[in-house]
Amino acid sequence: MRKLRFSAVLVLSALSSSCWLQKKTVVFVPPPPQVQPQVPTQVAALPQPPAIEGDPTATQPPVVADSFPEIAPPAPRPVTHHSAPPPVRSSAPTAPAPEQVQPPTLGPMFTADQRREYNRALDESLDHVRRALEVLASRNLNPEQAQVRSTISTFQKQAEQYRDQDLISAVNLAHRADLLAQDLLQRVTQ
């Protein structure tokens, strides 16, 4: 009974498909041909060229020699040998060179209190990092931990380099190094 129902459902679904019941034939009807305009077959006649006065056999205009002025050739230049002049030494003391003024750097302007606070935070973070690296130097670290220690020391060096150029970046780098160092210390000492 079950097979019969399944077969009946299968047959009915195949027969009820819209493709089986409706067959439409589409007939293509080409558009009517377009009539091409007729092109005249006669060639248009060109008018005769105008008559030019002068000698028909001449190919170039005549040159009048009297119209050019006489120019004398330039005088030859005297030959000179160039040599460096001898250095002049004077007995007068030379003036000191003016101090080179450093161009202003672009960046944030800090008040004295802000600069002091950033430098304090930077020194504090770098001090924590130095102490952590001293402890980590005496420990046996696996390759992953050794990579983290290398990253910490890289951040520390970059923070020290950026101190004079970009104080905010230096503080951020030192803070990152400090966080990584504290995390690594906790993992190693547990």
Q: How confident is the model at residue 171 (pLDDT cuts 50, 70, 90)?
A: very high
**Residue-wise pLDDT tens digits, 65-86:** 566 667 778 888 877 776 666 6
- Position 144 pLDDT exceeds 90: yes
The whole-number pLDDT of residue 190 equals 78
The whole-number pLDDT of residue 93 equals 59
CATH tag, 112-189? 1.20.1270
How much is the pTM?
Answer: 0.46
List, as one string, the DSSP characters of 36-85: PPPPP-SPPPPPPPPP--S-TT-SSPPP-GGGSPP-PPPPPPPP----PP
Residue spans of the domains in the chain: they are 112-189
The whole-number pLDDT of residue 128 equals 94
Separation CA 173–CA 157 (nearest Å): 9
State how far the alpha carbon of 90 is from the alpha carbons of 46, 87, 98, 161, in Å: 90, 10, 20, 45
